[in-house]
Structures are given as C-alpha cells and as structure tokens.
Amino acid sequence: MGLAQNGATREVAAGAPPGKGKEARGGPMLSGEDLLRLYLAMVLVRVLDQRMMTLQRQGRVGFYGACTGQEAACLGSAYALRENDWIFPSLREGGAMLLRGFPLLPYVCQVLGNSGDPTKGRQMPSHQSARSVRQVSWSSCIGTQLPQAVGAAWAARRQGDELVALAYLGDGATSSGDFHAAMNFAGVLRAPVVFLCQNNHWSISLPTSRQTASESIAIKAVAYGFPGAKVDGNDVEAVYAATAEAVARARAGGGPTLIEAETYRIGAHSSSDDPTRYRDPAEVEAWMAKDPIDRLRHRLEGLGLWEAGREAALQAELQAQVAAAIEQAEALPKVAPETLFDDVYAEEPWNLSEQRRELTRGLAARRRPSEPSKAV
C-alpha cells in the first residue's frame, strides 16, 4: 500500500498486529474487538445483500444494488469516522448505516419503501439514508454527491464545527465533471473531506482501463494539491488505517485526501444488470479468491479471536435476524398517500393544505364501502 503525495510514494500501515483497545479508534490500528465488530458487520451486509437480491428476483423489492466483494472498503473506511461526521455515499455504502447503529428493521423498510421507512417511500429502493447516523442517500446521479460533500464540509468548518465528510465514489465517477469540480474546490478551500474511491474495476460494463489514462486514481489528487493514497481495498485494516490517517488530517485542518481502495464488484452492478454479458468468469473467480470476508476471518483465526466452528452459528443467527426483519417489514402497510404533503414546507401554504384535504376526502370516499344507489 503506497501513499502518493506530490509525486512521492510512501508506505502506510498494512497487516500490522492490531493495537490494544482504547487507543485504537481514531488511530491507525484496530483492536481485536474492532476487527470482530467489523467482521460481524461485513457478514451481516453480505447476508442482507443476498436476501435482498433474492427478494428483488421474487418481485418483492423493486430494485437492489449489492456491495458484495466490497465490504472491507465500505465498512473499514466508515469505521474511521466519529459519530458526528457525515457520509455522502456513492452506490453501495448503505451498510455503513448499520455499522453506525441504524436498526435493521427501518433499513429493510427503506428498501421496501413502506410505512416503516423513515423517508416515507420517497426514494428509490436501496437509496437508504438517515439523519440519525448522518448519512445522506446513495447518489445514483453519478458524482453529484462529491461537490455536496465538499460544500457540507466547508460549511461545517466555517461554523467552527470539527466534523469531517467522507465522500464515496466509484471509479466511473472519476470521469464526471462533478468529481473534478469537487476535487478542485476541496483543494483550494482545504475542506475537511475525504474522498474514498472504490475502484471495483467496472462501471457497469466499462472496465477501469477505459476510464482513465492515469497510472492510478489516487495519483489524480496530486494535480489538485493534496495527498492521494492507494490501498488494498479488500484488506479492512489497510482501508481503516488509510482512512483514519486522512480523517485525522482533515479534522486537524490539513485538508482533503483522495483514497483509492482497489477492490472488485463480485456481483452484478445492480438487479438490472447481467454481468455475464461483458465479464470473463475467470476474472470474477480470481477475485473471489481474495474475498475480504474470508481474509478477515483468516486474520481473526490467526489472532485466536475466531474459530471455524463458530461460522455456521453466525450465519444462522444473521440469516434469522434478516428473515425476522423482512417478515416484520412486509407486515407493515404501504405509505399513506397523504404523507405526500409532509416535510415539504416548515409551514404548509394554504394551497397545499387545500390539496391535502381534497386528497383525504377523496381517499376516504374510495375506502367507504359503496352505498346503495338512490337513483330510480
């Protein structure tokens, strides 16, 4: 793992023994307890993604995008944040909300877009977000989250707030105008933002080799006047170490960092995609051998913190948790149409109130059993 700064490259922590408990969070090392916590979160996200994709195929969910193969890059980086930091996701980082304490049931409700969804079904499925864990929605509009993250980070800094914004992007987003505008502004303003690019080798069917002529994505940071780091995105400790270092620098007023986490999208781009039409199965198999979850499990076993015998029980437990959340979520009613008018204005204008009343009357009339006709 190297760190490129103004053309120079240097090594940052990789594969070092985990640090001890209290100094670990915020520092470059993870304790054994942290590694276990991350392992459980990564396995939960894998199990959830598999179940949700199945639900989509059964017609019970409209759309889904999985993070399979990228759990270390996604969760290892999110783990380096403090509670009051903000996440601006790209396409696959919903699981960071769970790691940051968002409950599973409303999470599943967001995928279903039903009445248990705190965002009232207004988002596309898979575009979870929650103010409670300071995470905005996925950004299906590629790259738009990046200037937003810079703006939020800069505004917070101007208000004297020490928070950091972690902005995720894919390799494909590096070709968007928003990426370059965001990188430029972040550098000029020294905004406390960390850009975490999950280079998963594909932008739907376009390979990263067709995305850029640069020697890496990380190197692009040099042109904007701040450091870039390239890490093994399937090594959760390496991702954490690089992000923790970048977050600490941003918080201390040292400005932004671009981290390239090299990983691989094992599954389809989304439930709307068929990767067998453009990818060599041998490539997928080669990356499956580098699975970040297997890798962390081996690490934990080596540290005496996990035994192979516990795996089946963990799988059963997480499958049961996810199944229970799905069952409870599916038992909930749809979002009431009247909520359409909620959260639009702090004080509802008269015309919206009128429309709300009209809709409520219309819905009530439709719900009443039809009365016998008085016509003769």
- Catalogue the active-site residues: 265, 269, 278
- Closest CB to Mg ion among 201 and 249? 201
Within 13 Å of residue 106, how many CA atoms lie on the same side as its CB? 15
User: Token digits for 45?
Assistant: 């996200």
Residues 165-224 binding ligand TPP (CB under 6 A) are 170-173, 200, 202-204
Q: Residues 43, 73, 91, 112: which binds ligand TPP (CB under 6 A)?
A: 91
First to last CA, the chain: 85
Q: What is the C-alpha separation between 278 and 265, in angstroms, rounded?
A: 13
Pairing status of strand 228-232 against strand 206-207: unpaired
Q: In angstroms, what is the minimal distance from the CB of 175 to ligand TPP?
A: 8
User: Token digits for 136?
Assistant: 């905005």
Do residues 239 and 93 make contact, with C-beta atoms less than 8 angstroms apart?
A: no
- φ/ψ (deg, to 5) at 103: -70, 155
Q: What is the C-alpha separation between 236 and 234, in angstroms, rounded?
A: 6
Q: In angstroms, what is the minimal distance from the CB of 91 to ligand TPP?
A: 4
Which DSSP helix (H) or strand (E) runs through 353? Answer: helix 350-367
- Closest CB to Mg ion among 170 and 267? 170
> Coil, helix or strand for 328?
helix
> Coil, helix or strand for 291?
coil
| Angle at alpha carbon of residue 93, lines to 280 and 126, rounded to 5° | 90
- Closest CB to Mg ion among 109 and 261? 261
Q: Binding marks (x or -) toward ligand TPP, 126..165, rule CB under 6 A?
A: --------------xxx-----------------------
Q: In angstroms, what is the minimal distance from the CB of 178 to ligand TPP?
A: 8
- Closest CB to ligand TPP among 142 and 152? 142
Do residues 105 and 329 make contact, with C-beta atoms less than 8 angstroms apart?
A: yes
| 234 touches, from ligand TPP, Mg ion, none (C-beta below 5 to 8 Å by class) | none
Which residue ranges make up the site for Mg ion (CB under 5 A)?
170-171, 200, 203
- Closest CB to ligand TPP among 163 and 173? 173
| 117 touches, from Mg ion, ligand TPP, none (C-beta below 5 to 8 Å by class) | none
Q: How many residues does the chain have?
A: 376
Q: In angstroms, what is the minimal distance from the CB of 254 to ligand TPP?
A: 27
Q: Binding marks (x or -) toward ligand TPP, 71..90, rule CB under 6 A?
A: -------------------x
Pairing status of strand 86-88 against strand 8-11: unpaired
Q: In angstroms, what is the minimal distance from the CB of 272 to ligand TPP?
A: 10
Residues 239-298 binding ligand TPP (CB under 6 A) are 265, 269
Residues that bind ligand TPP (CB under 6 A): 90-92, 140-142, 170-173, 200, 202-204, 265, 269
